[in-house]
Amino acid sequence: TIIPVHLPDLGGELICQKDSFLAAAKGVSVGIALQKRIMTGLFGGEGFIMQRLEGTGWVFVHAGGTLIERELAAGEELHVDTGCVVAYTPSVDFEIERAGNIKSMIFGGEGVFFAHLKGPGKVWIQSMPFSRLAGRILANVPVTGSGQGEGSALGPLGSIMRGS
């Protein structure tokens, strides 16, 4: 999904996942946004560095799967998977919190931490981060076959590489 954002409508600034920037009009600068809290930086899924888009024009960022755009009221809180946060306005307080107790962290399947977003401000949330999409594709790639079958991109080279 491509998200068009007119920066002046948001106060001239947007914080995004790293690598989510696609394009921008003249007058927009792309920089970095360092997380202020050590736990957020270490365990936030995106690390310390996120993208800061600033200026007076349009920017286009991308997200995977279903996209939800949400305006948080002052003090309103939202808890989401860390990888599902696409972007937010600088007025949103972004923190990382532990996901439940040890049992749910190990067996819950959703990871050890989640993002805690607190308004006021606007947030964009995706249902399918690229890393999750890639993992699902890799999990379903067949590992059998000679690499010479119909539609194979490798052909005879696949057999040489595998030693067969």
pTM for the full model? 0.72
139 — phi, psi (to 5°)? -65, -20
113: β partners: 98
Q: What is the pLDDT along the chain (164 residues), one digit of tens a residue?
A: 999 999 999 999 999 988 788 999 999 999 988 766 555 445 544 445 789 999 999 999 999 889 999 999 999 999 988 888 999 999 999 887 777 666 655 665 555 678 889 999 999 999 987 777 777 788 888 876 554 445 555 555 555 555 55
- pLDDT reported for residue 98: 73
**Domains, the chain:** 2-130 (3.60.160.10)
> CA–CA separation, 131 vs 100, rounded Å?
23
Eight-state DSSP code of residue 73 = P
122: β partners: 71
- pLDDT reported for residue 112: 66
Contact partners, residue 27, CB within 8 Å, separation at least 6: 55, 56, 57
For 58, the 3-state DSSP assignment is: strand
